[in-house]
Amino acid sequence: SQKIEQNSEALNIQEGKTATLTCNYTNYSPAYLQWYRQDPGRGPVFLLLIRENEKEKRKERLKVTFDTTLKQSLFHITASQPADSATYLCALGGRDDKIIFGKGTRLHILP
Amino acid sequence: NAGVTQTPKFQVLKTGQSMTLQCAQDMNHNSMYWYRQDPGMGLRLIYYSASEGTTDKGEVPNGYNVSRLNKREFSLRLESAAPSQTSVYFCASRRLEGDFSYNEQFFGPGTRLTVL
């Protein structure tokens, strides 16, 4: 069955450093991959989307890479700030309108 | 625009009771989704609707039914609630583009359901 793994449940990063989150998947050939942010008590909010034929996408301090050979996506937040502390979700989508989510990584940016 | 709205925000049920979770979106989106989120399990898809009049099962459909009432509204019904259905339920929607959608999902604020 399809499986998505996000590298760790929680990650502590010092303010100002780059936070890198990992998303690995198996038994799936996604057409695209998305990253969402979720704050406690709220619904997820979309951040970035990358398609299967794209290697890298950037948006302000965010960067996503997508390696379909390794079946892996990396999500980077540069110059991290305490306000970046949240849970980050990786999601894969295909051509059938379904999206599958990973369990998420809780990111803590330490001041 | 209100985006995606869900009612109620909180609900406590006794085992065996039934209830309907309501979801509406005002963005003219084609697709709508119901997820549940449990600690350590992430978001799991219950049902989705690619367009008005169609619904499909997701990963965890057992114990639930859905209705796509019109383009705006997608409801989730628990006919006989069980403690295992204690969870946070999220509704989401997105716009379809072409043969399939690359677009992001917009989520509602969630319904926190406890079944005793």
What CA–CA distance (Å, rounded) separates A97 from B99? 10
Question: How distant is the alpha carbon of residue B77 from its chain centre?
Answer: 9
> Which site among A52, A103, A105 would you substitute to test the B interface, given the most B Cβ atoms closer than 10 Å to its Cβ?
A103
Whether residue B15 is predicted with pLDDT greater than 80 in this model: the reply is yes
Q: Which chain A residues contact residue B30 at CB under 8 A?
A: none
Q: How many CA atoms lie within 13 A of A72 on its CB side?
A: 7
Q: Helix, strand, or coil here: B112?
A: strand
CA nearest neighbour of A41 among B37, B25, B26, B7: B37
Contact A89 B42 (CB under 8 A): yes
Query: Rounded to whole angstroms, how far apart are CA atoms B45 and B49?
Result: 11
* CB–CB contact A46 B109 (8 Å): no
Is there a contact between B108 and A32 if contact means CB atoms under 8 Å apart? no
B47 interface with A at CB cutoff 8 Å: no
Token reading at B79: 């006919």
Query: Is pLDDT at B99 greater than 80 in this prediction?
Result: no
Please give the average per-residue pLDDT across B72-87, as a whole number.
Answer: 96
Per DSSP, the residues of B1-16 read ---EEEE-SEEEE-TT
Phi/psi of residue B84, nearest 5 degrees: -65, -10
| CB contact set of B56 (below 8 Å; sequence gap of 6+) | A98, B47, B48, B49, B50
> Within a 10 A sphere around the Cβ of A71, how many other Cβ atoms?
17
The answer to whether the Cβ–Cβ distance between B31 and A98 falls below 8 Å is no
Q: How far is B24 from chain A (nearest CA, A)?
A: 15
* Encoded tokens for A79: 């110059």
pLDDT tens track, chain A, 111 positions = 778 999 778 999 999 999 999 999 998 888 899 999 999 999 999 999 999 899 999 999 999 999 999 999 999 999 999 999 999 999 998 877 788 899 999 999 999
Q: What is the mean pLDDT of residues B9-32?
A: 95
DSSP output for A34-100: EEEEE-TTS--EEEEEEETT-SEEEETTEEEEEETTTTEEEEEESS--GGG-EEEEEEEE-SSS-EE
CA atoms of A58 and A46, how far apart (whole Å): 14
Conformational region of residue B79, where left means phi above 0, alpha means psi within -120 to 50, and beta covers everything else: alpha
Q: How far apart are CA B6 and CA B9, in angstroms?
A: 7
Which residues numbered 54-113 in B keep a CB inside 8 Å of some CB on A?
56, 58-59, 90, 92, 96, 99-110
